[in-house]
Amino acid sequence: MRNLLPIAFLLIFSFCQQKVSPPEPVYPIPDERQIVWQEMGYYGFIHFNMNTFSDREWGFGDESPEQFNPTELDARQWARIAKKAGMKGLIITAKHHDGFCLWPSAYTEHSVKNSPWREGKGDLIQEFVDACREYGLEVGIYYSPWDRNHPD
């Protein structure tokens, strides 16, 4: 009986607590899309493009597509490592301001279609998207509207 006495007191006093109202919201309150963005957490950004091979920080659009030749490129490796690192998604630079496209663009000659990589038939963006989907990662594509290679 002595063991039950402390439990009885705890139960009695727990009902004596005053109910507290929730705090007033602090405005502005994030909308649903902003909350989803906040919960995304950890993403990776892959800036793999012509500058990887031209040894320049800023490309001018005058690089030869023949410089682009990643002989051991494996987008699945990127996705696998990102997933192991706890990332929820990856973003890739599909076209930076130098104008070089990592897919065989029909609108410019400054793309992988004129490189030796995969004999000009490669599409790094498609490989990247497929790899991310295989590993359950969200996909982001960075595309610069500025194009120092194309006059339009």
Residue 41 confidence (pLDDT) above 90: no
Residue 75 confidence (pLDDT) above 60: yes
Out of 2-16, 44-58, 118-132, least confident range = 2-16
Cβ neighbours of 73 (radius 10 Å): 15
Q: Report the pLDDT value the prediction gives residue 67, as an integer from 0 to 100.
A: 95
Place of tokens 């030749």: 69
In order of their start, the domains of the chain are: 25-143 (3.30.750)
Q: How many residues does the chain have?
A: 152
Residue 122 confidence (pLDDT) above 80: yes
Cβ neighbours of 75 (radius 10 Å): 21
pLDDT tens digits for range 97-120: 999 999 999 999 999 999 999 999
Q: Report the pLDDT value the prediction gives residue 8, as an integer from 0 to 100.
A: 61
Question: Strands 138-143 and 89-95: what pairing?
Answer: parallel
What are the structure tokens assigned to 123, written together?
């599409």
Q: Report the pLDDT value the prediction gives residue 87, as an integer from 0 to 100.
A: 96
Cβ neighbours of 45 (radius 10 Å): 11
CA 48/CA 46 separation, integer angstroms: 6
Question: Strands 43-46 and 138-143: what pairing?
Answer: unpaired
pLDDT tens digits for range 125-151: 999 999 999 999 999 999 999 999 988
